Amino acid sequence: MQSPTTTKQSKAASAKEHPSGDRRFKTLDMTMKRYQYKPDALIEVLHKAQESFGYLEEDVLTYIARGLKLPLSKVYGTATFYHLFSLKPNGAHTCVVCLGTACYVKGSNKVAEELEKELGIKMGETTADGQISLMAARCIGACGIAPAVVFDGTVAGKQEPEMALTKVKEWEAE
C-alpha cells in the first residue's frame, strides 16, 4: 500500500510534465483538473484531447484513463462510439462528400465512387501517404447547390465527378 503522502507526490509529478515532454499533455492535465478528475468528465476531456492532438492516439487514451481512473476498455468504447472522435490522424487534406438526400439524388454517390476509385480508399479512410482523407457527411445544409463537396473546409457546389477528381489530383500532385 502506498502511503497518502507518496500518492500526493506522484500526482504532483505527473501534473508537472508528461515523460515525452509534449506540452499538449499539460493542457489535458488542466482540463482534467478543471473537472476535478471526475470520471463523468470523460467526453469533455476526449473533446479537449481531440482538439489539441487532432486525433486520439493510444498514448493519449491511456493517459486520460489513468487521469480519470477509468478502465481502458471504457475509454476506448466511448472514443469509438462517437464519430467526432478519430483514432487515426487525418490526412493533410480533407475531402467531405455530402451524401444527404438532395446531394444523393443529384448524383453525389457517383462523385463519391469516383473519388474512392481515384484514391484507392473507402469513405472514412486516409491515403497511405497521409495526404488525403475522404469522408462522407449526411447533409451539410447546402442542398441548394447539390451535389456539394467540402474541400479543406471550403464548400464547392454542383460537383460533377470530373470536377472533384481534378481538385483531388491537384492535391496528389503537390
Across-strand partners of 136? Answer: 97
Pick the closer one to other proteins by CB: 20 or 80: 80
The C-alpha cell 447547390 sits at 145
CB-count exposure of residue 47 (10 Å: 0-12, 13-18, 19+): middle
Contact window for other proteins (CB under 8 A) among 13-21, 76-84, 100-108, 150-158? 76-84
Contact window for other proteins (CB under 8 A) among 31-39, 55-63, 108-116, 148-156? 55-63
Rounded to whole angstroms, the Cα distance separating 67 from 28 reads 9
Which residue intervals of 17-160 are DSSP H helices? 24-34, 42-53, 58-68, 72-81, 101-105, 108-119
Pick the closer one to other proteins by CB: 32 or 61: 61
User: Is 79:56 a contact under the CB 8 Å cutoff?
Assistant: yes
Is 73 a binder of other proteins (CB under 8 A)? yes
Is 77 a binder of other proteins (CB under 8 A)? yes
Dihedral of alpha carbons 19, 61, 10, 41, sign: positive
Contact window for other proteins (CB under 8 A) among 65-73, 92-100, 114-122, 132-140? 65-73
Pick the closer one to other proteins by CB: 32 or 149: 32
Rounded to whole angstroms, the Cα distance separating 158 from 145 reads 5
Among 54, 71, 124, 130, interactor with other proteins by CB under 8 A: 71
State which of positions 79-108 bind other proteins (CB under 8 A). Answer: 80-81
Among 42, 49, 75, 115, interactor with other proteins by CB under 8 A: 75
Across-strand partners of 132? Answer: 93
Question: Where do contacts with other proteins occur on this chain (CB under 8 A)?
Answer: 58, 61-62, 65, 71-77, 80-81
